[in-house]
Amino acid sequence: MTMKQYFRISIVVMMTMNSFGMHAQQWFQAPYLQTRQEGDSYNFYEIRAAFHKYEAEQIEKNKLMMTDEAIGKGEDAGKVPGSNQFHRWEWFNEQRVFPSGQFPSAGQILSEYEKFAPFRDASRGRSNSPNSISTITANWINLGAAQVPGGSSAGTGRVNCMAFMPGNSATIFIGTACGGVWKSTNSGASWSVLNTDLLPSLSIASIAIDPINTNNIYIATGDNFAGLPNYFKTLQGHFSAGVYKSTDGGLSWNVTGMSYTQAQLMYIQQIIIDPVTPSKLLLISNTGIFRSTDSAATWTNVKPGNFYSIEFNPLNQNVVYATNGLGLWRSNNNGLTWVYKGGGYPNTTAARVTLGVTPADTNYIYLWGPSAGFKKSVNGGNSFTTMSSPDALTNPYGYYDRAVAVSNTNALGVHTGGSGSAKTGNGGLSWALGSDYSNYLNANYIHQDVKRMKYAPGSGSTLYALTDGGIFVTQDDGTNWTNISHGLQIAEIYRVANNPFNADTIYYGTQDCASMRWDGSSSTVAQVFGSDGMQPLVDYTNPQNVFVCAPYGNLQKSTDGGNTFALASPGQCMWIAPYAMNPLNPQTMYIGAKLAVKKSLTGGVFLSWNNISTGWIDSVVALAVTKADTNYIYAAKLRAIVRSSDAGLTWDTITGTLPVNINMLTSTGITYIAVSSTDPQRVYVTMSGYASGNKVFMSTNGGNTWINYSGSLPNAPVNCITYVDGSNDGVYIGTDFGVFYRDGASSDWTSYNTGLPNVIVNHLDIYYATMKLRAGTYGRGLWESDLPMPVSSFTASATSVCEGSTIAFTDQSSVDPSTWNWSFPGGSPASSAQQNPSVIFSTPGTYTITLTVSNVNGTHTSSAVITVNALPAVPTISANMNILASGSATGNQWYLNSVIIPGETNQNYTVTQNGLYTVVVTDSNGCSSTSAAYNFLSTGIENIPGEEGFALAPNPTDGKFSIITSGTPAGTVKIFNAFGQLVYQSGDLKKEINLTSFAKGLYSVEVSSEDRIWKKKIVLR
Chain segment 346-378, per-residue pLDDT in tens: 875 556 899 999 999 999 999 999 888 999 999
pLDDT surpassing 60 at residue 19: no
pLDDT surpassing 90 at residue 51: no
Q: Which residues, in sequence order, are CB contacts of 999 under 8 Å at separation 6+?
A: 977, 1020
Tell me the average pLDDT of the chain.
Answer: 89
The CA distance from 953 to 947, in Å, is 15
The pLDDT confidence band at residue 236, using thresholds 50, 70 and 90, is low
The pLDDT confidence band at residue 68, using thresholds 50, 70 and 90, is very low
The CA distance from 1021 to 1003, in Å, is 11
pLDDT surpassing 50 at residue 939: no
pLDDT surpassing 80 at residue 157: yes
User: How much is the pTM?
Assistant: 0.82
> Domain coordinates of the chain in residue numbers?
3-94, 157-270+287-305, 794-868, 877-936, 950-1020
Report the DSSP pairing between strands 610-611 and 622-625: unpaired
Q: Which CATH number fits domain 950-1020: 3.40.50.2300, 3.20.20.70, 2.60.40.3080, 3.40.50.300?
A: 2.60.40.3080
Per-residue pLDDT, 110: 85
Asked if the domains 794-868 and 950-1020 are classified in one and the same CATH topology, the answer is yes
pLDDT surpassing 70 at residue 830: yes
Per-residue pLDDT, 542: 98
Helix/strand/coil percentages in the chain, nearest 5: 10, 40, 55
CA 902 to chain centre: 59
The CA distance from 94 to 87, in Å, is 10
Q: Count each helix (H run) and each strand (E run) in the chain, helices first.
A: 7, 81
Q: Could you give the angle at the alpha carbon of 377 between the alpha carbons of 375 and 383, nearest 5°?
A: 100
Per-residue pLDDT, 233: 55
Mean pLDDT of 110-118: 85
pLDDT surpassing 80 at residue 70: no
Per-residue pLDDT, 309: 96
The CA distance from 149 to 518, in Å, is 9
Helices 44-62 and 83-94: crossing angle, nearest 10°? 150
Q: What is the pLDDT of residues 267-321, one digit of tens each?
A: 899 999 999 999 999 999 988 999 999 999 999 999 998 899 999 999 999 999 9
Looking at the structure, give the CATH architecture of the domain made up of residues 794-868.
Sandwich (2.60)
The pLDDT confidence band at residue 9, using thresholds 50, 70 and 90, is very low
Under a CB-based contact definition with an 8 Å cutoff, are residues 444 and 420 in contact?
no
What residues form DSSP beta bridges with 219? 207, 244
Distances (CA, A) of 1005 to 363, 805, 942, 989: 134, 45, 12, 12
Q: What is the pLDDT of residues 771-808, one digit of tens each?
A: 999 999 999 999 999 998 888 999 999 999 999 999 99
The pLDDT confidence band at residue 945, using thresholds 50, 70 and 90, is very low
Mean pLDDT of 897-925: 92
Mean pLDDT of 548-559: 96
Q: What phi and psi, each to the nearest 5 degrees, are found at residue 284?
A: -115, 150
The pLDDT confidence band at residue 833, using thresholds 50, 70 and 90, is very high
Q: What phi and psi, each to the nearest 5 degrees, are found at residue 190?
A: -150, 160
Q: CA neighbours within 13 Å on the CB side: how many for 390?
A: 33
Number of neighbours of residue 666 by Cβ within 10 angstroms: 15
pLDDT surpassing 90 at residue 229: no
Q: What is the pLDDT of residues 460-485, one digit of tens each?
A: 999 999 999 999 999 999 999 999 99
The SS3 of residue 785 is strand
The CA distance from 222 to 176, in Å, is 10
Q: DSSP code of 119?
A: G
